[in-house]
Amino acid sequence: MDSQDSQVLGAVRRWAQAGHRFALVTVARTWGSAPRPPGAWMALRDDGQVQGSVSGGCIEDDLIARMAAGEFRGTRPFVQRYGVTVDEARRFGLPCGGTLELVIEPAPDAAALDELARRTAAGELALRTVDLDRGTVAIRDGCRSDALAWDGRRLTTLHGPAWRLLIIGAGQISRILASMAQALDYQVWVCDPRVEYSGGWDVAGATLLPGMPDNAVVDLDLDPRSAVVALTHDPKLDDMALLEALKSPAFYVGALGSRANSARRRERLRQHFDLSDAEVARLHGPVGLPIGSRTPPEIAVSILAEMTAAKNGVPAAAPATEAPAADRAGCRVD
């Protein structure tokens, strides 16, 4: 699966090669309950085809109509606002009070887009700056501490895998988790010294690291945009990696296991390793949100959901109570 960056970039490069005109639209600023965050972008082709999103759909419809009417035939980028009034917000389907400020590029620089695509495909972070006064676009190196910047005339957006995920273990859950995480703009590494698992690793874009997991944690020099998920069920591999990860600034550290096994793991970390109670308390275990997941895809979804909540500062969900099973007709069984 591709991130929105690669989807949009892939689309516009195909369109350019086919001779289509297209515009780029980026959310620069929002007020109130806007449907998409700053930095969200979309590409709009001359025949109305779109890739990406800047709202729930109604604004896209208006942009498509304006494209068809020939309003985007210029070359210089400009600002367009939606939802300034209550009536306009209602007309475009924005939540109450929501306002969007968009930067529209009616004639994007194809060479700059090629350069951005090259950098992101190589796993690099890149900053893209659109200068409305000069009508220029610049691409330069980015880093994980960079953020979107908009002063009303210059828009700078960060592209590429801004978040990092290290997965301990190369089993079936890891394969699905690695693919899903890349769709959420994570740069993914996997470490598993067990050759019976790592020997067949072939998930595109997820780098297999050699050696022991605890060394991988140290070598990656984890920062506040990093996450570590241990999925081997083997304390010899998981515990040492968790020890290093829990001492790091990583925003999320999780480990697969039942409640009983997770409790025993926490006790081991307290008794046998130099970890404080606060550091042990950072461990998410059982890993993932309690959504009743059983299959590898469901477990991967629950892990990424909990990681997303942690990344966005949303409090952890309360443990789910076990619901009665359902029979084939959909009726509850006591």
Show the tokens assigned to 286.
């059982």
Q: What's the pLDDT score for residue 90?
A: 63
Neighbours of 250 (CB within 10 A): 23
Burial of 105 (0-12, 13-18, 19+ CB in 10 A): buried
Tell me the average pLDDT across 273-285.
90
Q: What pTM was estimated for this model as a whole? A: 0.70
Block residue for tokens 């829990």: 246
**Which CATH architecture group holds 163-311?**
3-Layer(aba) Sandwich (3.40)
- Asked whether the predicted pLDDT for residue 321 surpasses 80, the reply is no
In the chain, domain spans: 4-159, 163-311
Tell me the average pLDDT across 29-56.
86
Average pLDDT taken over every residue of the chain: 87
The one-letter code for the residue type at 52 is: G
Tell me the average pLDDT across 55-83.
88
Distance CA 165, CA 168 (A): 10
Of residues 302 and 30, the one with the higher pLDDT is 302
Is residue 35 within 8 A of residue 98, CB to CB? The reply is yes
Report pLDDT digits (tens) over 160-214: 877 899 999 999 999 999 999 998 889 999 999 999 999 999 999 899 999 999 9
Could you give the count of Cα atoms lying within 13 Å of 269 in the half-sphere of its Cβ?
A: 28
